[in-house]
Chains A and B, each alone.
Chain A
């Protein structure tokens, strides 16, 4: 439990600093690389929560595919590869006020509701937790209970593929 807490706090501090880097950086490529740190950190948090398969999917799809798409987007919009001070608009103060207010409300609520809840990771309950995160268990769930949403997601992916091609096509 202690080791898990230590790892959690190291990862949490790194993730929050990198997330601030994503929204404050003056360089588009640096922002994308900060986003990699946040996504890798959350994959590590998933492993701490024994969600092994989701962690690997996170690494493959988010860090592997989505970041590459972002880098393509940065290159295709011919963003300057240097410091660019015009990346923010003039709503920074309002945005900060809204975000801090939301953070206050959410964290007060969450700490009051779940402040003393614990995840039991010892003994048989811990092995149940690990078993829940395996690919086999998730596959059983996806292909029995959630088979209809699964098929819908595949249609959605096809539609967004065609949509992206139609939108980006030059004619």
Chain B
């Protein structure tokens, strides 16, 4: 009962890890980060129900807020990358490789 929610969260987290590693487009990398943050929220809510504690839900609310702030700044950065190199692809940011 508890384990099925936790394993679902683990599956979503690993799909997010794959997305962060395998995607080239900056917006899609941010979407995969959202998948990972959402998996963490499922974990927090599950433990909140299992341990009968409100704290887990409060933490999940904080995670949701911080995810919103992260997307705002992250998309501004992707926009700036797009404006500088005319492409949202993160692997074209190779000015520092010799």
B22 in contact (CB, < 8 A): yes
**Contacts A49-B46, A114-B3 given; does A99 touch B14 at CB 8 Å:** yes
Instruction: Name the one of A35, A39, A69, A153 contacting B62, with C-beta atoms under 8 angstroms.
Output: A153
Q: Please, which residue of chain B has its CB at the minimum distance from the CB of A8?
A: B4
B31 within 8 A of A: yes
- When distances are taken between beta carbons in the complex, the residues of chain A under 8 Å from B11 are 16, 19, 103, 107
- Do A61 and B64 contact each other (CB < 8 Å), given the known contacts A70-B31, A111-B7? yes
Q: How many A-B residue pairs have CB under 8 A?
A: 242
Quick check: B12 and A129 within 8 Å, CB to CB?
Answer: no
A117 contacts B10, C-beta separation under 8 Å: no
A75-99 interface bits toward B, Cβ cutoff 8 Å, 1 = contact, 0 = none:
0111100000011110110111011
Contact A69 B71 (CB under 8 A): yes
Q: Taking the nearest CB of chain A, how far is it from the CB of B31, in angstroms?
A: 5
Distance A46 CA – B75 CA, assembled complex (angstroms): 27
User: Given A23-B32, A45-B5, A88-B24, does the pair A39, B38 have CB atoms closer than 8 Å?
Assistant: yes
Q: Which residues in B have their C-beta under 8 angstroms from that of A58? A: 41, 64
Binding site secondary structure of chain B: helix
**Tally of chain A residues near chain B (CB < 8 A):** 85
Chain A residues within 8 Å of B75, by CB: 69-70, 72-73, 164
Contact across chains for A146 and B58 when beta carbons are under 8 A apart: yes
Bound-complex Cα distance A5 to B21 (A): 33
A19 to B32, CA, bound (A): 9
CA distance A137 to B88 in the complex (A): 44
Q: Name 19 interchain pairs, CB-CB below 8 A, sorted by A.
A: A16-B8, A16-B15, A45-B8, A49-B46, A50-B49, A62-B64, A70-B27, A70-B30, A73-B79, A77-B26, A79-B88, A86-B24, A89-B91, A99-B14, A110-B3, A117-B3, A138-B54, A146-B55, A168-B76
List residues of B whose CB falls within 8 A of some A CB: 1-8, 10-28, 30-32, 34-35, 38, 41-42, 45-46, 48-50, 52-55, 57-58, 60-62, 64-73, 75-80, 82-83, 88-89, 91
Query: Ordered nearest first, which 6 A-B pairs have the shortest CB separation?
Result: A95-B21, A23-B19, A160-B69, A99-B18, A95-B22, A167-B76
